[in-house]
Amino acid sequence: MKQDTIPSTNVLSCDPFPGSEKVYVQGELHDIQVAMRKIEVGDTLHKFSGKVEKNSPVYVYDTSGPYTDASVTIDVRKGLPKLRESWILDRNDVERMEQISSDYGRQRLNDPNLDHLRFEHRHQPLRAKAGANVTQLHYARKGIITPEMEYIAIRENQGLEKLYSQDNELWKQHQGNSFGANTPKRLITPEFVRQEVAAGRAIIPNNINHPESEPMIIGRNFLVKINANIGNSAVTSSIEEEVEKAVWACRWGADTIMDLSTGKNIHETREWIIRNSPVPIGTVPIYQALEKVGGKAEELNWEIFRDTLIEQAEQGVDYFTIHAGVLLHYIPLTAKRVTGIVSRGGSIMAKWCLAHHKENFLYTHFEEICQIMKDYDVAFSLGDGLRPGSIADANDEAQFAELKTQGELNRMAWKYDVQVMNEGPGHVPMHLIKENMEKQLEYCQEAPFYTLGPLTTDIAPGYDHITSAIGAAMIGWYGTAMLCYVTPKEHLGLPNKKDVKDGVITYKIAAHAADLAKGHPGAQYRDNALSKARFEFRWDDQFNLSLDPDTAREFHDETLPAEGAKVAHFCSMCGPHFCSMKITQEVRAYADAMGTNEEEALHQGLAEKSNEFLEKGSELYL
């Protein structure tokens, strides 16, 4: 196995997207600059009239952070700029600690053998002052609109304010015709963000020790989000690869990253990831705790786990998956399953419970966990340790028993103003998906749902990004707030960089399909702009507006690589004679040439004939 090393600076993808630039929208309540990506598009040239139609630029939600801002210099060894630091300090409810609180953390810090792996530019951690509560839920309930909340409101609107405020011909047209069928019904306001957080229907995962991250929200009245899992295992991977995968995942659209490392140097790997991540980071602390006891689940205990929570909270982890709902008396419910317990955290806790004949210590210590979480604003992602691992086990008693306990734990978290979401399955056939969402809303009082897929069949290992994207899109439409991606390697091995991208793009598709189906304000704007570009053979615009411009361009160029083909009114799929879009263009041009608009031309010129035929024709089939 190769030696672990710190990342070299050139592994991170820092190129801006083609035809795009990073723009910043100024806040009104707070002095904040909200990043988004602006995609410039070309004009439409009307062939016969010679008229030039201006097409509006398209603003899209951008998770790639400073990496795609050409004006920012990235140095992986220094980490990203601390966007939120002043917001946090200005609230006057945190204190900077003289040293880190975790025994294990100090031990790693003082081990000279780890010097070569250490992130050098770390700060001393922040913690809530005694008696303070620094969670966004706490502020929201007090009626405070934080900079984070305003940032999110502007971000979620994806530049629609701009389009509204422009006296733009195209935009007016959109509102008048089919282009505007799903045009935004309302804009998201900072106050709406606050209300949703206060109600527990949405969470803003942003640990005060991860000021590098751009605020984002997880809730079903916002854009559907996606998470990408990365992390090493005992068998493979390095710090460099994991940081590279994290930044790569953000580039393609990951809204959060979970670092699921279970191999060596977990502490240092996480530090590098957090310092370079523009999105919130989640972890499953029990994994590291298990490593600390040499992989023996029965040797786990509350003290080790508690120290791990604090260690990770002070590094800046934004949400913790905690499998506190795997109760002792639920374990027998999994005995007759085809695939037993398939969650790693769930099986670790089940093993511990059985070995000790005791209740899950995460459950019995849940209030103490809440007290830690509120000091750093770490959000709960309550694990679904008993999720089904096969179609046969979907929606069974074990699964729903745990979900009910998750609801109970939500209420406890909320007592401490700690933000919480619930994790969900797994493997579920399509006809059983809706029940998962309905039960979660009921049992868990509308806290955000965060599901893994679900996979809608078990028979396609190697393609589980697809088996699960089907389920993910559906459950997203039904109300799931965040979708945990599944890569093509699921069930087979650790994802590499290509798998990460495949998983992320696939899940962006699922999330966006869900946004369209839910009618999220403005979701369809990008679809319309891309389809218009496609129809008008503006090939570069079509590529640039797509989720993955590189692949779209590459596929096109495989058969027609010449630059001239980018203005050609056909592609290799059908060739020039059979291009329906070309023919329709001709139909439109024909109408144009007749000096009237297409619809009128058709109606005027053809109505008689058409009616004539209708009389004859309808006789034909009476």
Cβ distance to a copy of itself smaller for residue 104 or 535: 535
Binders of a copy of itself among residues 289 to 348 (CB under 8 A) are: 290-291, 295, 297, 327-329, 331-332, 334-344, 346-348
Q: Applying CB under 8 A, does 594 fall inside the site for a copy of itself?
A: no
**3-state SS class at 58:** strand
Side-chain half-sphere CA neighbours of 613 within 13 A: 4
Cβ distance to a copy of itself smaller for residue 256 or 261: 261
Q: Applying CB under 8 A, does 239 fall inside the site for a copy of itself?
A: no
Only one of the segments 24-32, 193-201, 286-294, 310-318 lies at the binding site for a copy of itself (rule: CB under 8 A); that segment is 286-294
Asked if residues 469 and 507 have their Cβ atoms less than 8 Å apart, the reply is yes
Q: Applying CB under 8 A, does 118 fall inside the site for a copy of itself?
A: no
Among 29, 72, 354, 567, binds a copy of itself (CB under 8 A): 354
Among 147, 159, 383, 389, binds a copy of itself (CB under 8 A): 389
Among 249, 469, 475, 484, binds a copy of itself (CB under 8 A): 469
Cβ distance to a copy of itself smaller for residue 68 or 468: 468
Asked if residues 368 and 406 have their Cβ atoms less than 8 Å apart, the reply is no
Per the structure block, which two tokens stand in for 302?
């509350």
Side-chain half-sphere CA neighbours of 398 within 13 A: 30
What is each CA distance from 28 to 33, 190, 235, in whole angstroms? 10, 10, 50
Question: Which amino acid, residue 238?
Answer: S
Q: Please, which residues bridge with residue 382 across strands? A: 322, 422
Query: Could you give the CA distance from residue 605 to residue 593 in angstroms, rounded to a whole number?
Result: 13
Query: Could you give the CA distance from residue 194 to residue 437 in angstroms, rounded to a whole number?
Result: 24
Cβ distance to a copy of itself smaller for residue 2 or 329: 329
Among 13, 517, 569, 596, binds a copy of itself (CB under 8 A): 517
Shortest Cβ distance from residue 127 to a copy of itself (Å)?
A: 26
Q: Applying CB under 8 A, does 587 fall inside the site for a copy of itself?
A: yes
Among 168, 195, 262, 596, binds a copy of itself (CB under 8 A): 262
Phi, psi of 580 (to 5 degrees): -65, -35
Q: Applying CB under 8 A, does 29 fall inside the site for a copy of itself?
A: no
Please give the distance of CA 486 from its chain centroid, rounded to a whole number: 12
Q: Applying CB under 8 A, does 143 fall inside the site for a copy of itself?
A: no
Among 512, 521, 522, 537, binds a copy of itself (CB under 8 A): 512
Q: Could you write out the three-class secondary structure of 446-463?
A: CCCEEEECCECCCCCCCC
In 479-579, alpha helices (H): 497-518, 523-535, 539-545, 549-559
Cβ distance to a copy of itself smaller for residue 166 or 580: 580
Cβ distance to a copy of itself smaller for residue 127 or 501: 501
Shortest Cβ distance from residue 533 to a copy of itself (Å)?
A: 10
Beta strand residue intervals within 328-443, DSSP E = 379-382, 420-424
**3-state SS class at 420:** strand
DSSP 339: S
Binders of a copy of itself among residues 174 to 233 (CB under 8 A) are: 177-179, 181-182, 233
Shortest Cβ distance from residue 28 to a copy of itself (Å)?
A: 30
Determine the straight-line distance between the first and last CA of the chain, rounded to whole angstroms.
78
Per the structure block, which two tokens stand in for 131?
């008696």
Q: Please, which residues bridge with residue 483 across strands? A: 226, 451
**3-state SS class at 174:** helix
- Angle (CA) 216 421 474, round 5°: 85
Among 5, 575, 593, 595, binds a copy of itself (CB under 8 A): 575
Q: Applying CB under 8 A, does 598 fall inside the site for a copy of itself?
A: yes
Cβ distance to a copy of itself smaller for residue 250 or 290: 290
Among 34, 149, 379, 505, binds a copy of itself (CB under 8 A): 505
Q: Applying CB under 8 A, does 527 fall inside the site for a copy of itself?
A: yes
Q: Applying CB under 8 A, does 56 fall inside the site for a copy of itself?
A: no
Cβ distance to a copy of itself smaller for residue 55 or 136: 55
Asked if residues 316 and 281 have their Cβ atoms less than 8 Å apart, the reply is yes
Cβ distance to a copy of itself smaller for residue 212 or 536: 536
Asked if residues 277 and 248 have their Cβ atoms less than 8 Å apart, the reply is no
Among 116, 161, 572, 593, binds a copy of itself (CB under 8 A): 572
What x/- string results for residues 424 through 463 when contact with a copy of itself is judged by CB under 8 A? Answer: ---x-xxx------------------------xxxxxxxx
Cβ distance to a copy of itself smaller for residue 59 or 376: 59
Q: Say which residues have a Cβ less than 8 Å from residue 265's Cβ, sequence separation at least 6.
A: 4, 114, 117, 239
Only one of the segments 138-146, 153-161, 314-322, 550-558 lies at the binding site for a copy of itself (rule: CB under 8 A); that segment is 550-558
Q: Applying CB under 8 A, does 380 fall inside the site for a copy of itself?
A: no
Q: What is the dihedral of CA 574, 576, 579, 582, to 10 degrees?
A: 160
Cβ distance to a copy of itself smaller for residue 45 or 338: 338
Count of positions on this chain that bind a copy of itself (CB under 8 A): 153
362 dihedral zone (left: phi>0; alpha: psi -120 to 50; beta): alpha
Q: Applying CB under 8 A, does 411 fall inside the site for a copy of itself?
A: yes
